[in-house]
Chains A and B, each alone.
Chain A
Amino acid sequence: MSLTPEQIDVIQEMINIGVGQAANLLNSISGKHVKLSVPEVKVLNLEMLAQTLIDLGFEKNLSCVTLMFSGLIKGSSKIIFSTEQASKLVFAFTSVETNELDFDEIQAETLSEVGNIVLNSLVGSFANILNTTLNYSIPVYVNGNIDQILSSDINISEKGLILYARTHFQIENLQVEGDFILFIDLETVPMFIQAVNKFLEKGGFFN
């Protein structure tokens, strides 16, 4: 299955809105401006996905939080940093007392909670726009390479195709950068497009 340029355009717009909400929350948590790149949207299988991510420089050690979702659409959203960038972010965010934890635990706890907040907002904006309800998993934090991150995601099938969308972001002044990545099981994309079309017929964002 492939997507028409018009469908990709609609999906890109939805992702822009969701990522915008997520960036707004990152901005309010960090107090710094968050600069976003234009989302990249592609249809890939697992092998192509791994290669795409490696080509983007994701071959190093990474810190990733995944929020899986199901309902009208099934998939997962991720916020990914290099481990070095993740540590910088954790130092900037951790003002609460965490004496009883070591740094690895603080990093896991902080990133899980930050990931939980921003990814819920990304995916939740789709649900609100499309007037539907999505069910979420507990956020999963993985510190490892891209294979470990992808294999921990039960919503990525080895055989099926997925819709992949990536937006790179930079938190200015903290010199921290990372990526929001969204995977949607391609089998559920027609329902997604249908719901988006219905929303647009009703007047869309200008209603």
Chain B
Amino acid sequence: MKKVLIVDDSIIARRMIRQLISKWNFEIDEAKNGVEALEKIHTTKYDLVFLDLLMPDINGVEVLEKLAQEHNQTKVVVISADIQETTKAKCKELGAIAFLNKPPKEEELNYVIQQIIS
């Protein structure tokens, strides 16, 4: 079974993503900030990480920076309300493989998962 990590400080957002990806039968783990996310990524091998950007303590861009510094190859899909083109470019530069705006559309999310997982 594929393992995914949902990183978002909002419980509502985590639940929403969990529901949207329910048909994939993933083993789902959650983290509510960047610190927790990095701890989990360092100790568990995830097939995919869904990462929010605007979070307390360590934000999503800092998580991507840290992973890039460590040459960590974990696949990260950013799901953020930040619609700025410069933010999208920064995330791609740091290795995010996709950037979806909140609220993510089910078909869009499924398409990205399909591309990555298969």
Of the listed stretches B11-19, B41-49, B63-71, chain A binds B11-19
Chain A, interface residues (CB within 8 Å), range: 20 to 34
Interface residues of A (CB under 8 A from B): 21, 25, 28-29, 94, 96-98, 101, 106, 109-110, 112-113, 116-117, 119-121, 124-125, 127-128, 132-134, 136, 138-139
| B82: Cβ under 8 A from any A Cβ | yes
B86 pairs with A127, CB closer than 8 A? yes
Interface residues of B (CB under 8 A from A): 9-13, 15-16, 19, 54-56, 80-87, 102-103
A132–B10 Cα distance when bound, in Å, is: 27
A120 pairs with B9, CB closer than 8 A? no
Interface residues of chain A: helix, strand, loop or mixed (majority): helix
The 18 sampled A-B contact pairs (Cβ below 8 Å) are A25-B103, A96-B12, A106-B12, A112-B10, A112-B12, A113-B13, A116-B10, A117-B102, A117-B103, A119-B81, A120-B83, A121-B81, A121-B83, A124-B82, A128-B83, A128-B84, A136-B54, A138-B9
Known A97-B15, A109-B10, A138-B55; contact A29-B84, beta-carbon cutoff 8 A: no
B83 pairs with A28, CB closer than 8 A? no
A139–B9 Cα distance when bound, in Å, is: 11
Nearest CB of B to A103, in Å: 13
